A and B are shown apart, each in its own frame.
Chain A
Amino acid sequence: GENVEQHPSTLSVQEGDSAVIKCTYSDSASNYFPWYKQELGKRPQLIIDIRSNVGEKKDQRIAVTLNKTAKHFSLHITETQPEDSAVYFCAASSRYGGATNKLIFGTGTLLAVQP
């Protein structure tokens, strides 16, 4: 069935270092890959997304890369700051008939940025 695996489950970095979170997906029909940030007790918030016709996308300190052949996608955060500390979830969309966007989520990565 549909599955998204995410690694690592926890990641601790020093402020200013880079952080990389990796995901793999099983459904070759997936065509949309968002990343969500969830702070403790709050809603998941979209931080960046990428579509299958693009290999890389960047937004300030955040970038996402996609390798459709290998079914891998990754989140890169540069110059990390303490406020980047949160749980990050990757997700992949799975089509159902003519509708889209049923997201399958990874298990999350707890990122801790040490000042």
Chain B
Amino acid sequence: DTGVSQNPRHKITKRGQNVTFRCDPISEHNRLYWYRQTLGQGPEFLTYFQNEAQLEKSRLLSDRFSAERPKGSFSTLEIQRTEQGDSAMYLCASSGRDSLSYNSPLHFGNGTRLTVT
């Protein structure tokens, strides 16, 4: 399977602990996105990378959240001092280069389900 890979699939942590998730995009894709999805809602944009550059962060992303993509390949999302409200599915997606200024589709991973107790 050469799709987007996310690890771990599930993470249970106690409030106040730090957690880190990893995303491996489709190899030829230069764009990487993090989304958060809660039950009954659509995915909510968190942040976006083009190669190693983080080009946009959602205003909803508190300073407890940080994402990196150091070599323009895999990415990590870290949440510090987790809160119960952070419980959600964290989805990673990647897309290829635009051609003729058209958007290219996002391909999602299976997500990491975070439960903060």
Complexed CA–CA distance, A43 and B23 (Å):
14
Interface bits A89-106 vs B (CB < 8 Å: 1, else 0): 101010011011111111
Q: Which residue of the partner chain A has the closest CB to B108?
A: A43
Q: How many residues of A contact B (CB 8 A)?
A: 28
CB distance from B94 to the nearest CB of A (A): 11
Given contacts A96-B48, A102-B33, are A34 and B42 in contact (CB under 8 A)? no
Complexed CA–CA distance, A4 and B41 (Å):
12
Query: A44 interface residue, CB < 8 Å from B?
Result: yes
Given contacts A97-B55, A108-B41, are A46 and B103 in contact (CB under 8 A)? no
CB distance from A51 to the nearest CB of B (A): 6
B106–A101 CB distance below 8 A: yes
B105–A99 CB distance below 8 A: no
B contacts, CB < 8 Å to A: 4, 31, 33, 40-45, 48, 50, 55-56, 91, 95, 98, 101-111
